[in-house]
Amino acid sequence: MRISSPRFEHDGVRPDYLLVARMVAPGSKVLDVGCGDGALLDLLVRERDADGRGIELSHEGVSRCVARGLSVIQGDADTDLADYPDDCFDYVILSQTLQATRQPRKVLENLLRIGRRAIVSLPNFGHWRVRAHLALKGTMPVTKNLPDTWYDTPNIHFCTIRDFVELCDVIGAGIERAVALHASGRPAGVNAPWWFWNLFGTQAVFLLYRKDENGHRTAHPTNE
Q: Does 72 bind another protein (CB under 8 A)?
A: yes
d(C-alpha 28, C-alpha 222), whole Å: 8
Q: Does 215 bind another protein (CB under 8 A)?
A: no
Query: Which amino acid is located at 132 in the chain?
Result: A
Touching another protein, residues 36-65 (CB under 8 A): 53, 59, 62-65
Q: Shortest CA distance to 126 belongs to which of 178, 162, 168? A: 162
Alpha helices in the chain (DSSP H): 15-23, 39-48, 59-67, 77-80, 104-114, 128-132, 161-170, 194-200
Among 18, 71, 142, 163, binds another protein (CB under 8 A): 71
Cα of 44 vs its chain's centroid, Å: 14
User: Toward another protein, which CB reaches closer, 43 or 72?
Assistant: 72
Judged by CB under 8 A, the number of residues near another protein is 20
Q: Does 81 bind another protein (CB under 8 A)?
A: no
Among 40, 70, 93, 111, binds another protein (CB under 8 A): 70
Residue span binding another protein (CB under 8 A) among the ranges 2-10, 83-91, 162-170, 180-188: 83-91
Q: How far is the CB of 200 from another protein (least distance, A)?
A: 40
Using CA of residue 23, residue 167, residue 105, residue 185, what is the dihedral sign? negative
User: Toward another protein, which CB reaches closer, 68 or 157?
Assistant: 68
Among 6, 9, 12, 85, binds another protein (CB under 8 A): 85
Among 39, 88, 142, 167, binds another protein (CB under 8 A): 88
User: Toward another protein, which CB reaches closer, 42 or 47?
Assistant: 42
Q: Does 69 bind another protein (CB under 8 A)?
A: yes
In the chain, % helix, strand, coil (3-state, to 5) comes to: 35, 25, 40
d(C-alpha 138, C-alpha 133), whole Å: 7
User: H-helix or E-strand containing 146?
Assistant: none
Q: Contact positions toward another protein, by CB under 8 A?
A: 53, 59, 62-75, 83-85, 88
